[in-house]
Structure 1
Amino acid sequence: MSDSFVFADTTSSNLAVSASEPFQVLIVDDDEEIHVITKMALSDFELDGRGLKFTSVYSGAEAREVLSQRDDFALMLLDVVMEHDHAGLDLVKWTREELKNRMVRIVLRTGQPGQAPEEQVIAKYEIDDYKEKTELTYRKLMTLMYSSLRAFRDLQAIEHYKVGLERIISASTEIFSACSINQLSQGILEQLVALLTRSNTAAYCRIDGFTATCDKQQPMHIIAATGAFIQQIGYAVHNVLDLKLVEQLVEKATPVSFQVKDNTYYGVYKTSANHFYLLYIRGVNELSETDRKLLDMFMNNTAIAFEHAEVYGQQEG
């Protein structure tokens, strides 16, 4: 290999595997050694408790195929010269203009800077950084990862705010219908999770006839969700929850009780009609007093809204 990374000596660390979803990184380069070195150098990288998961492709054509099928890449490390001199630049243009993918952070890496002058490339193409392979020391590579993934994380949060706001506005037209309240809860939950966490995985459940033994015949149905739970709205959930902890929270006398365990928030709200609602959010390390009040208000107001919708529906019937 004509161009190589120059990495400083590092001490290995045995970091615990994070339960949070890793950032997806796409490496596009026709040099196998670049893939190997990059993965080795970043094997212990973490941001917000999230590691990295790599996908390797070796040409612009392969990259197009993968990007057409997946939209979850946080970062693309992209070589300029592959099957032809401007394969990388063509891929950037296709990703931004035809695929309309504005979220993925794109970092161009070149071993032949004369082929694509930095100033011209940055001015003409929607990339986030430009690096010569020979200048990417270990420290600079780590700095690049932090800056790129933080930018992706923040853009993702903004998108979640927008989606949540859209749901809230749409739901506000028929506030007394159960369907509308469900949509309203979904929108607010998406905004809360984007505001308070880094993982975008949460479920808001109604606990039907909860018993002290956590009998699975008494299910917890998801009524709003984000991330990994969004496809399970309307269904019962058990296997991912700490049922013993839920039981302990239900048995407390206070209307709202919560606990953060293993970076996961469990909050239980008890209504005046003796119904229970559970709010489960991953990626919560600690809560400020303001954060806790926001979550309490969410559970209180949505629970009341659902019960009012039930009464309204019975009166209409």
Structure 2
Amino acid sequence: MADEFLFADEGVQSQPIEPQPPFHILIVDDDEEIHVITKMALADFHLDKRPLAFHSAYSAREAKEMLAKRNDFALMLLDVVMESDHAGLDVARWTREELKNKLIRIVLRTGQPGQAPEEEVIAKYDIDDYKEKTELTYRKLMTLMYSSLRAFRDLQAIEHYKSGLERIIKASAEIFSAQSVNQLSQGILEQLVALLTRTQTAAYCKINPAGYTASADTDQPLQIIAATGEYTQRVGELLKNSDAQRIVNDLRQRKESVAYEIADDTYYGLYKTSKSQYYLLFIKGIGELSETDKHLLSLFMNNTAIAFEHATLLNNSI
């Protein structure tokens, strides 16, 4: 393959690598040179401060094995002609119809454009783009990556939104039980994170009353009662984060019932109830927030704290 179409533009500056989870890219092609050149061209690509992680398959069989093992591939760059003239088309159909993976973006690439006419392929297969290898200049490859990964990111957010909505619906049947309030908080948190942020890591914590003291300088046990991302499996445990403890101590000294701070792309929102209990909303990798977004996060803290208080009062009276 000629080099000039992928390296037509010079002087692109590398972006610093951020400690953010990568977008996983699956390259499926029986030509080793395609793998090497694609990885070199996209080595410094970032979206939302997230780098790319590349995975290589050299046949349709190998691609299916990798797709079956993990479901977090954001994009598949898929060669049409490999061990057969339609191997790539078979992988695309299998991914959508048998594997039921609707999130991964599929871009077919062919070095033999007459082998599979573009209009016919787009009409028959659930793919997202169809490119001849000779037309993929560096700039067009960049455009393809931005459009494909943004689409994947937005579809993923919708899936998280649907998951949160399902939890809310299930919780509504027994709205006054403590278990239901936990489910409700979890569902609303998942929806908020999906709609307002581009991160998946958040925790909603209650300051354990057993560890409460009057001193604002004393660290308080932060018990996780709802979470997403890396904290999902830690509900019920304590949030151990020295920055969170320090900022909670600072926020507790403010007069308003809802106080927040954004530091190092992390949102810390503290809510004080009428019973002098505290709840913390902790979201990593938050990015920019509008005033409306901040208001919605404050409403979440206010309403869930009230729901927990009511559930506690109801259970104590039974």
Structure 2 residue ranges without an equivalent (≥5):
none
Displacement of 1:247 after TM fit? 2.3
Aligned to 1:245: 247
- Over aligned residues, Cα RMSD in angstroms? 1.8
Aligned to 1:264: 266
Aligned to 1:162: 162
CA contact (8 A) 2:6 2:41 kept: no
Q: Matched residues in 2 for 1:49 and 1:75: separation?
A: 17
Aligned to 1:274: 276
What amino acid sits opposite 2:52 in the alignment?
Answer: L
Displacement of 1:71 after TM fit? 0.7
CA contact (8 A) 1:39 1:54 kept: yes
For the pair 1:153 / 2:142, whether they are aligned, the reply is: no
CA contact (8 A) 1:3 1:133 kept: no
Q: Matched residues in 2 for 1:203 and 1:241: separation?
A: 14
- 5 Å-filtered alignment, 1:1-80, equals 1=1, 5-80=5-80
Displacement of 1:19 after TM fit? 3.2
Q: Matched residues in 1 for 2:204 and 2:139: separation?
A: 42
Deviation per residue, 1:61-109 (Å, 9 max, x gap): 1111111111111111111112222111111111000000011000001
Shift of the 241–232 alpha-carbon distance from structure 1 to 2, 3 Å rule, reads: farther
Displacement of 1:14 after TM fit? 4.0
Displacement of 1:47 after TM fit? 1.7
Shift of the 291–87 alpha-carbon distance from structure 1 to 2, 3 Å rule, reads: same
Q: Matched residues in 1 for 2:246 and 2:3: separation?
A: 56
For the pair 1:110 / 2:107, whether they are aligned, the reply is: no
What amino acid sits opposite 2:175 in the alignment?
Answer: I
TM-score (norm 2): 0.93
What amino acid sits opposite 2:179 in the alignment?
Answer: C
Q: Matched residues in 2 for 1:87 and 1:307: separation?
A: 59
State the 4+ residue runs in structure 1 displaced beyond 6 angstroms.
none
- Structure 1, 39-48 or 142-151: larger mean CA deviation: 39-48
Displacement of 1:310 after TM fit? 1.0
Structure 1 residue ranges without an equivalent (≥5):
none
Displacement of 1:4 after TM fit? 7.3
TM-score (norm 1): 0.93
CA contact (8 A) 2:106 2:127 kept: yes
- Structure 1, 106-115 or 227-236: larger mean CA deviation: 227-236
Aligned to 1:136: 136
Aligned to 2:228: 226
Q: Report % sequence identity.
A: 67
Deviation per residue, 1:166-220 (Å, 9 max, x gap): 11111111110011001101111111111111112211111212565665xx532
- Residue-pair matches, total: 314
Deviation per residue, 1:223-282 (Å, 9 max, x gap): 111122112112222148543223212333321111111111111111122221110112
Task: Find 1:290's aligned residue among 292, 297, 302.
Answer: 292
Aligned to 1:183: 183
Report SS of the residue matched to 1:130. strand
- Structure 1, 302-311 or 43-52: larger mean CA deviation: 43-52
CA contact (8 A) 2:15 2:45 kept: no
Shift of the 27–80 alpha-carbon distance from structure 1 to 2, 3 Å rule, reads: same
CA contact (8 A) 1:79 1:110 kept: yes
What amino acid sits opposite 1:233 in the alignment?
Answer: V
Aligned to 1:307: 309
What amino acid sits opposite 1:120 in the alignment?
Answer: E
Q: Matched residues in 2 for 1:214 and 1:231: separation?
A: 27
Shift of the 210–75 alpha-carbon distance from structure 1 to 2, 3 Å rule, reads: farther
Report SS of the residue matched to 1:221. strand
CA contact (8 A) 1:207 1:219 kept: yes
